[in-house]
Structure 1
Amino acid sequence: MPISVKTVSEFVFGVPWAKVFRKVPNTPRGHRLHPSKTPKNDSRSNFRVDMGSEVNGKFEIVIQANKNAENRSVRDAANKNSHAILAKVVVDPKENPTGEGVAESILDAFKGKGDGEDKK
Structure 2
Amino acid sequence: MALEFGPLLRVYRQYWSLTQREMAELLCISQPVYSRIERGERPVSMKALQRVADASGISIQTLIMAHLLLDENLDAIANGSADPAQKSLLELAEKHRGSFPASFKDGAALGLLLTGIPE
TMscore range, shorter length: under 0.3
Q: Which has the larger radius of gyration?
A: 2
Provide the TM-score with structure 2 as the length reference.
Answer: 0.24
TM normalised by structure 1 equals 0.24
